[in-house]
Structure 1
């Protein structure tokens, strides 16, 4: 393999959904969709591998796992039927590539991790909680909700615009940039809601007000204990939407207790050259095998 692994054990937890969508849209915007001779679309698979391998080379993990959503029904949709209800269907050219990239991960001997009723975020949170006791954890994503998982042992790597650009969040850098602790990310989302996940928070309270309240009073509990200190307008909005505030905070919180069949040993990153070469020949991407240093 043409990259250097850290001498100290670390695990890279990949947000497969975030990388897949980013890879698809980054190439689809040009109007050109890469395909095999048989017409199978592979642009998202190719782009995924570019993003993935760049991060592996940069951060040198000794262990890797890739986490996925399984479908639209989760415990969150049971709590709030409209959760993510504003999302459009995946493009036709992307749909077959979800199984292709999982096959690719299999060929790289990287576990594909998911669980019925839970999202990829919950799988990542649960693996981070488990493996963080033994080694450093690196979470690769574009989703700022993941910042709630930052600890002294868990860093969140946010993929920024452009190839190979990252912001690595630790407790110190999160506090420095956003003036928030990891737990306060959940309080912030409870107040302001999340338009991309389609839950409202407290109607009439946007990010600016939510940030000010969380920074001043520390948490939702702190805010509620000091309602008499708030302006009449803000207090009225919170009191009118108290149930939705608590529900939105529940929806925003990533579960870290999902039981997953994924062991430290199964995540050890060791390529089988024959498997890798065979898979990328099948996908007509021999160049990827070259990146991985197996040809």
Structure 2
């Protein structure tokens, strides 16, 4: 059997994992961050599964003080301090490697890359070598025997850098790469670049001269400004080249046999994962058990059967428990018994699905508002959100991987998508058991059952019902705002003396600061700011009439766009069916999208005209708007037992006006709407 050595750049991959996974979403109940550990372990499992190595080793950095920093003190000096959340996980990553029986190496004064280069020198004649590293300096090690697995996205998508891949990407051989890197510089390592010389020029020089040493020998022949810049920067280029070269002569000489890897002791790995509460990865390690150990099955052997309406209905009506459900555009899949999934055409079983209320479903609101379902017993999306509000990883595929260790080959389809895998349905009950345990441990099960789930059903009904608009008045407003915008634009042209694009910051800069010689606003990358705040400052300073016209153009243009969006969102029933987002904000607040009905203007008379277009349809007469009065402040007063706050609420005075009177040093009666708005913003952050 051919030997295959996998070498990991430990720090590089751990850092990648740390920044790929949000630290807030991965921690033990005691608060120990685990995102780098989880990501590193997941990456390691994937590498072992995909590469099937016979030998494995890991290399680590010791500290930032190396022979490179001694020679060039600025080396990596620009890097921020290592986050404490990462530092606290490094020892656990070493412990993880021990549990996997993978040796790890480091040497004071050298970097992990140097350890790897030394191993390549020792073992490339005896084994195929695969290096997993996020450091491009490792490309110089690539050969017919050595491949670098370079992360393109997080720690999941790897590019295979072979000699041909390096040549295709850079137009150079692996041996030429450090010459190219020396010319290019490296901001991440604080290695200076040559002013005015980019990657294309660096590549052209190495291709033309063959090597950096030849380029230096003939540096006087390099023409133009680029040649002048090269000659001026030659000392730093030479230093860059010395620092980029990996050392392969470290006093490390393990036998290849010492790196042999034949699997894991499941009990050790499981004990490690249990300690750090990373249960989801246990099943994924099971296939790597050493011979003689019982290998757990990571995924169920699922039987998927297509059935007719009678069999589908019988399976549901004879069931007394919860049933997993997955929907595609045209099919419904249910899991009534373990490892058996029944699939039927939605057109045949729509009424059966709609009448059953004991489903476990992921993201049920859309299905309910679309009248596909009438209700569900469990929504795993809502449960996952409640466990970790604000997390971006509440897609079904993320939850199956995190809680059950099930890694899907394809992303499961959500409602109304054709790309789906019905076998996933059989995992929904198991997923709900895992989520409900977490909710119970957080004392949030009642909150889920009594608040979040009923709210989800209410929101679904609101989406399905929609809100009526006065289409005739809305179209009239669209015409009005369009005319107002055109008039303001025409007036601006007249005040400047020629036409220009009022929506172009570049043209506005020319008009305002070059032609009209108005005072400069704040400096930005492309010149001087022409945003609304800057134009308002300019107008208050100069009172130039063109600024009033420009501000008017923006004001009515924004209102016109709002009306246009609302009209485009109006369905055939003359109603707008927005989507209420229950599982997106970290604070627990609802948001509204497609369109955003929480963003309808209210502060101006013209903005309120848009609001007046939302109407009650027969048999109803009026729309009722209701809101808690300063609910957050009331809760804060209750929890803090602040006497002043409590007294203010007891007497019924307006809290924001009272605080505003103190802040602005005016009587309460003199606190206007703008002052109150500022105080409210201050109070709520």
Q: Normalising by the residue count of structure 2, what TM-score does the alignment of the two structures yield?
A: 0.41
Deviation at 1:204, TM superposition (A): 3.7
Deviation at 1:25, TM superposition (A): 1.0
Match of 2:95 among 81, 93, 103: 103
Matched, 1:86 2:75: no
Partner of 2:62: 70
Partner of 2:40: 48
Which runs of 5 or more structure 2 residues have no equivalent in the other structure?
290-295, 297-685
Partner of 1:214: 206
How far apart are the structure 1 equivalents of 2:244 and 2:50? 30
Is the 8 Å Cα contact of residues 7 and 57 (structure 2) preserved in structure 1?
yes
How far apart are the structure 1 equivalents of 2:169 and 2:230? 27
Is the 8 Å Cα contact of residues 9 and 131 (structure 2) preserved in structure 1?
yes
Matched, 1:196 2:188: yes
Is the 8 Å Cα contact of residues 190 and 202 (structure 1) preserved in structure 2?
no
Matched, 1:284 2:271: no
Q: For 1:1-295, list aligned pairs within 5 A.
A: 7-28=1-22, 32-161=24-153, 164-260=156-252, 262-270=254-262, 271-293=264-286, 294=289, 295=296
How far apart are the structure 2 equivalents of 1:88 and 1:224? 34
Is the 8 Å Cα contact of residues 113 and 262 (structure 1) preserved in structure 2?
no
How far apart are the structure 2 equivalents of 1:104 and 1:110? 9
SS in 2 for 1:37: coil
How far apart are the structure 1 equivalents of 2:156 and 2:33? 24
How far apart are the structure 2 equivalents of 1:41 and 1:176? 40
How far apart are the structure 2 equivalents of 1:267 and 1:206? 41
Is the 8 Å Cα contact of residues 17 and 155 (structure 2) preserved in structure 1?
no
Deviation at 1:203, TM superposition (A): 4.0
Tell me: CA distance 1:72–1:228, structure 2 relative to 1, closer, same or farther (3 Å): closer
Q: Deviations over 1:218-266 (max 9, x none)?
A: 1112212333432142332222222211111001111111122533222
Tell me: CA distance 1:162–1:235, structure 2 relative to 1, closer, same or farther (3 Å): closer
Deviation at 1:200, TM superposition (A): 0.9
Moved more, 95-104 or 193-202: 193-202
Aligned length: 287
Q: Deviations over 1:158-207 (max 9, x none)?
A: 11115632211211222233211111111011112111000114444222
Tell me: CA distance 1:163–1:228, structure 2 relative to 1, closer, same or farther (3 Å): closer
How far apart are the structure 2 equivalents of 1:147 and 1:257? 18
SS in 1 for 2:153: coil
Work out which of the two has the higher radius of gyration on C-alpha atoms and give 1 or 2.
2
Misfit runs of 4+, over 3 Å: 201-204
Deviation at 1:208, TM superposition (A): 1.9
Partner of 1:3: none
How far apart are the structure 2 equivalents of 1:292 and 1:228? 59
Is the 8 Å Cα contact of residues 189 and 201 (structure 1) preserved in structure 2?
no
Is the 8 Å Cα contact of residues 122 and 253 (structure 2) preserved in structure 1?
no
How far apart are the structure 2 equivalents of 1:100 and 1:261? 26
Moved more, 88-97 or 158-167: 158-167
Q: Deviations over 1:78-133 (max 9, x none)?
A: 11000000100122211110111011101111011111000011111111111112
Is the 8 Å Cα contact of residues 43 and 155 (structure 2) preserved in structure 1?
yes
Is the 8 Å Cα contact of residues 55 and 164 (structure 1) preserved in structure 2?
no
SS in 2 for 1:65: strand
Deviation at 1:33, TM superposition (A): 3.4
Is the 8 Å Cα contact of residues 16 and 155 (structure 2) preserved in structure 1?
no
How far apart are the structure 1 equivalents of 2:278 and 2:253? 31
SS in 2 for 1:212: helix
Tell me: CA distance 1:33–1:89, structure 2 relative to 1, closer, same or farther (3 Å): farther
SS in 2 for 1:215: helix
SS in 1 for 2:97: helix
Moved more, 241-250 or 71-80: 241-250
Q: Deviations over 1:32-63 (max 9, x none)?
A: 23111222111110111111211221111111
Moved more, 43-52 or 76-85: 43-52
SS in 2 for 1:25: helix
Deviation at 1:12, TM superposition (A): 0.5
Tell me: CA distance 1:15–1:79, structure 2 relative to 1, closer, same or farther (3 Å): same
